[in-house]
Amino acid sequence: MDLHLAGKKALVTGATRGIGNAIARGLLAEGCDVAICARDAKGVETEVEALSQGGRRVFGKAVDVRDRAALVGWVEASARELGGIDILVANASGLASGATPDAFRAAFEIDLMHTVNAAEAAIPHLKRSKAGAVVAIASISGSEDYGYESSAYGALKAALMFYVKSLARHLAPMGIRANLVSPGTTYFKGGFWHQVEQEQPAVFADTIKENPLGRMATPGEIANMAVFAASPAASFVTGANLVVDGSLTKRIQN
């Protein structure tokens, strides 16, 4: 299937590892020019060099997405470097654990407000696109309770879901789409579940058993949905929460 992404200009936050990196690579493979950001300057530099090997234009900058001015500055610099913005993928997450005020504050600033701030900065550019799209990476934790230790993370992912649904309805008359991709458990070296595997092997094994497919997702499998949602091939998909969890969740998705 031709996703009609060739030549599009895409921005991805938190894109030096895991799901964000897989999304950036997926967009590049479809012919997009891509801008990335993450907190670690060395990681950004290394990944820009690696991603540039494919011949597409790649721009990167170290950004703490909690810093609104820095985040907006990256969006504007990316638009200049790439020659516009067609796609924004808000992927960065604080992966806040626990239910402390600090955990809620981190989830609010990173998971929710970085999406809000990046979207508001990108919208003037997306209005000039013929295929403007926003994709936010949420989580199944935003729609099902996975325990008190996930309270902050889940609560702010739920808030993100509401925001993106509302955003989709607001942007639709402008020809801009907005969707969510909600991953289930996703495994990659250096990621959360890799850490659990190393430190709590019994918990890791039990989590694997809970999934009807008998495994966790790869970042590439989540990225495939995000790339599709960002593409003109999904031209009538907006306001959707696209769950990619191997049927781990038990509820009827709506």
- Joined tokens for residue 183: 């991953």
Q: Contact 46/17 with Cβ under 8 angstroms?
A: no
CB-neighbour burial class of residue 236 (10 A; exposed 0-12, middle 13-18, buried 19+): exposed
Report the distance separating Cα 139 and Cα 204, nearest Å.
Answer: 18
Candidate list 146, 153, 163, 187, residue with the active-site label = 153
Rounded to a whole number of angstroms, the CA Rg of the chain reads: 17
Report the distance separating Cα 233 and Cα 237, nearest Å.
Answer: 9
CA distances from 242 to 98, 139, 160, 203, 207 (A): 26, 10, 13, 27, 21
SS3 49: helix
Residue 60's beta-bridge partner residues? Answer: 36
Which amino acid belongs to residue 177?
R
153 as an active site residue: the answer is yes
Report the distance separating Cα 36 and Cα 62, nearest Å.
Answer: 9
Active site residues: 153
